[in-house]
Amino acid sequence: MIEPTENDRAVRVLAERLAPAPPAFRSGIHEADEMYSYNLGMLRGSKAAAAMLYYLKGWQIAQAIRGVASWYFGGIQKVDSFLDFASGFGRVTRFLVRDLDPTRICVAEIQQAAVEFQRTYFGVDGLVSPPDALDFEPNRSRFVMATSFFSHVPSSSFRAWVKRLVECVEPGGVLAFSTNDVAQLGPRAEASDGIFFLPESETDRLDKTAYGTTYVSESYVRETIRAAGYGTWSVSRFPRGLGGLQDLYLVSAAAGPDPRFDGATYYPWGDTDLYEKRGGRLAAAGWVETVDVAPAVEKVEFFINDEPAELCSLSAIGPHRARWSFDTDVAGIEPDDVLSVRAMAGTRQENFLALATLRTNPPSTREA
């Protein structure tokens, strides 16, 4: 097992901020956890940066779950049965067990090792999910969640699993799931017929023709639910309502959220397009964006490890888009310090815009 909080202070400080004790935070990560491995590769081998991104994304998803539970049930503590479908190795579970008795949580995952790890480490119930939706037979739950599953499967699997997961919802319950918006593809979306599947993903374990990367339109999702026999159910979409990346859908026989629903968590997102060392200075710049219903970005800040170091300048370039930049002395930065740029919007809606170390991702160099 990997224990990032024991090996790096920056990771520990972030974890303590996201999950203050009590109860104690279950920080261990299984060696086969592909979400952590994906982060590690993307961040060029920085274990601390990979763990920080892993924990933050798990916490953001848990925040979305808390918001939905608050709206539908009056609080997550009132959820007496929760099914986390395609739960991986517990990136989110480690936060949910802080709110719910583990015996109320059932995780489902195609990898047996992932189910066994979560049963043992978090104390939750679990079952190995079959490849075919028709063979999936869990107990029905009040709250069913499928995070980043429908962003990976082709049309036939998409439709079959939506129908099966809706069937897993208890009367008065809710199904929540996330998708990639087909509009992100630009011109390619015009020929998509509402769904666009690419045979590529972050995993090498599964056949990429069955588990790749999927983009869908809202009309495709609604038609899928109607075709499954649930056309009278409420369907609500929250663009980029999961971690500032994927759309969040809520499906329920009960009345769905109305425009006053304030449980959605809209995180800003962005990237870096300048990262260079100029003499003894480190300069970086990029962009940040939000959806039109999200809180405005209040500030963008440069952090060294988990400590704020420099407030970035921020200039609007559109109604919901801005440029950020900073220039700071590089002398106090160690090669393995975790450097991050973070955007803050609303109450605790914080997201990484950039994440690196000088050793694993050295800046370009130019004369001052």
CA distances from 95 to 63, 112, 236, 277, 360 (A): 9, 21, 25, 38, 29
CA distance 255 to 180: 25
pLDDT tens by residue, 96-110: 999 999 999 999 999
**Residues 205-221, mean pLDDT to the nearest whole number:** 80
Q: All domains of the chain, ordered by start, with CATH?
A: 7-252 (3.40.50.150), 269-366 (2.60.40.10)
Better pLDDT: 50 or 208? 50
pLDDT tens by residue, 21-56: 899 999 999 999 999 999 999 999 999 999 999 999
**Residues 138-143, mean pLDDT to the nearest whole number:** 96
pTM: 0.94
CA distances from 269 to 123, 300, 340 (A): 34, 11, 13
Running DSSP on this structure, what letter comes out for residue 205? S
CB 43 within 8 A of CB 53: yes
CA distance 60 to 155: 27
CB 214 within 8 A of CB 153: yes
Torsion of CA 91, 11, 309, 290, to 10 degrees: 0
Angle between helices 47-73 and 9-18 (to 10 degrees): 0
